[in-house]
């Protein structure tokens, strides 16, 4: 294995359970089928094996990681391995005493999400009355001395309030603000018509974020992630397939990203069946899109192939039906018209309803 293929970050999706039902949830559409969760001992072994492989960062996420009652044990083990341990949470359900315990156990950072700056709008996106409680949790995070990351997912309903989002982050004393535009995969793709902003909205918000980044330099890190749909070339999704990130799903699949197991024809190993190092180095799924041999034209002869690695495989599959297609976000993709069409639709307002994340399968039995 070359140094380039060292995993630095383990994304531990501890559960797909979550009290929220956000319309852009990054869990797969069929998450409810993956209901057999890894046990505490499995996770402890995964952490050890990941650290041995080179992982230094651990994201405890889900679903909602707080619904696992072994989080204290997992944090303890992670810190014994000297992993930089980040809890990524909605803040629901949490009591202050539990957060105090996390602090004592050495948890490094807490990331709290809110869906908007207004309670009604935030709760509507989350499908759950949670906004005021989330703010309270964010205040506890700071009071207990943790660094606070505030994460707000952006879309056409809240992009025009980015200045208010930044003001909220300042009031809370956030150390890092993630203004992360929705990426249109899974649930968000299902809700794209309701969520995709116009270019004008995006440009306006981006300018406000850029000003804030300058003004708050050294105090608050302000990150603004553009939706792929308004790029002309794709970003390096996950820094490239199986290069830097290792994700383990609630039921134990070792994956290069959140949705890789929804791609057809790929085989991913379960951490219960094989050592993690073997999966990372030799697993069929991990090797499927490493390197350049899999690339179609125009990627294969493109100068950017070592920069963007062909873009997002899940986006390519979900839009074209082919996991090995060039990411349609790229203007050189033969399928780029799909993106132009979505942008044009976003510029033409229409009435749309939204699909909340839910466990019930549709009539056809397909998600």
Partner 1 sequence: MLSTSARPRLAGKARLRFDRKSTRYMLLYPEKGLVLNPTGADILKLCTGEHTVAAIVEQLAAKYSKAAAEVEPEVVAFLQTMADRGLVQDVP
Six-digit token string for 162:
């980015």
Which residue, among 67, 137, 136, 60, has the nearest Cα to 105 in the 3D structure?
A: 60
Check residue 318 for interaction with partner 1 (CB under 8 A). Answer: no
111: helix, strand or coil: strand
Q: Is residue 156 near partner 1 by the rule CB under 8 A?
A: no
Nearer to partner 1, 34 or 244 (CB): 244
Which residue among 27, 76, 86, 318 contacts partner 1 (CB under 8 A)? 86
Q: Which stretch binds partner 1 (CB under 8 A): 51-59, 271-279, 285-293, 295-303?
A: 51-59
Q: Which residues contact 173 (CB under 8 A, 6 or more apart)?
A: 142, 148
Among 219, 267, 300, 355, contact with partner 1 (rule: CB under 8 A)? 219
Contact between 218 and partner 1 by CB under 8 A: the answer reads yes
HSE toward the beta carbon, residue 160, CA cutoff 13 A: 9
Query: Least distance to partner 1 from the beta carbon of 49, Å?
Result: 14
Residues in 133-152 at the binding interface with partner 1, rule: CB under 8 A: 145-147, 149
Question: CB 174 → partner 1: shortest distance, Å?
Answer: 11
Q: How many residues at the interface with partner 1, by CB under 8 A? A: 25
Both tokens of 254, joined, read 């070792």
CA dist 94 and 252 (Å) reads 25
91 and 135 in contact (C-beta within 8 Å)? Answer: no
Of 65-73, 157-165, 212-220, 253-261, the segment contacting partner 1 by CB under 8 A is 212-220
Cα-based torsion angle of the residue sequence 267, 272, 277, 280 in order, rounded to the nearest 10 degrees: 20
Dist. CA 26–CA 315, nearest whole Å: 13
Q: Please state, in angstroms and rounded to a whole number, the distance separating the CA atoms of residues 117 and 159.
A: 11
Asked if residues 87 and 65 have their Cβ atoms less than 8 Å apart, the reply is yes
Interface pick for partner 1 out of 5, 19, 32, 56 (rule CB under 8 A): 56
* Residue selected from 220, 246, 319, 329 as contacting partner 1 according to rule CB under 8 A: 220
User: With contact defined as beta carbons under 8 Å apart, do 40 and 74 qualify?
Assistant: yes
By CB under 8 A, name the one of 61, 76, 89, 109 that touches partner 1: 109
Does 61 interact with partner 1 (rule: CB under 8 A)? no
Binding residues vs partner 1 (CB under 8 A):
3, 6, 8-9, 54, 56-57, 59, 82, 84, 86, 108-109, 111, 145-147, 149, 175-176, 217-221
């Amino acid at each position: 294995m070359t140094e380039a293929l060292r995993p630095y970050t383990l994304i531990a999706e501890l559960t797909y359970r979550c009290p929220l039902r956000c319309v852009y949830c990054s869990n797969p559409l069929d998450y409810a089928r993956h209901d057999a969760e890894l046990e505490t001992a499995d996770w402890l072994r995964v952490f050890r094996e990941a650290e041995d492989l080179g992982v230094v960062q651990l994201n405890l996420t889900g679903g909602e990681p707080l619904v696992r009652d072994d989080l204290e044990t997992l944090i303890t083990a992670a810190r014994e391995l000297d992993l930089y341990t980040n809890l990524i949470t909605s803040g629901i359900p949490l009591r202050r005493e539990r957060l105090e315990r996390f602090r004592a156990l050495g948890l490094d950072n807490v990331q709290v999400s809110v869906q908007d700056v207004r309670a009604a709008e935030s709760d509507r996106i989350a499908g759950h009355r949670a906004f005021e409680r989330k703010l309270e949790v964010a205040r506890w995070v700071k009071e207990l001395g943790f660094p606070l990351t505030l994460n707000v997912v952006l879309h056409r309903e809240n992009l025009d309030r980015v200045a208010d989002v930044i003001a909220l982050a300042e009031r809370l004393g956030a150390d890092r603000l993630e203004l992360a535009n929705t990426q249109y995969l899974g649930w968000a793709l299902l809700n794209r018509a309701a969520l995709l902003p116009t270019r004008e909205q995006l440009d306006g918000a981006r300018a406000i974020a850029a000003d804030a980044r300058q003004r708050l330099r050294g105090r608050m890190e302000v990150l603004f992630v553009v939706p792929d749909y308004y790029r002309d070339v794709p970003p390096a999704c996950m820094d490239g397939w199986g290069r830097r990130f290792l994700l383990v799903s609630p039921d134990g699949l070792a994956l290069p990203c959140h949705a890789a197991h929804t791609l057809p024809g790929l085989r991913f190993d379960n951490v219960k069946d094989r050592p993690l190092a073997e999966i990372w180095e030799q697993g069929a799924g991990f090797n499927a899109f490493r390197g350049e041999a899999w690339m179609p034209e125009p990627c294969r002869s493109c100068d950017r192939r070592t920069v963007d690695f062909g873009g997002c495989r899940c986006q390519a599959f979900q839009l074209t039906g082919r996991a090995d297609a060039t990411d349609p976000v790229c203007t050189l993709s033969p399928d780029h018209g799909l993106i132009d069409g979505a942008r044009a639709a976003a510029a033409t307002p229409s009435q749309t309803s939204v699909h909340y994340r839910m466990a019930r399968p549709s009539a056809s039995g397909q998600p």
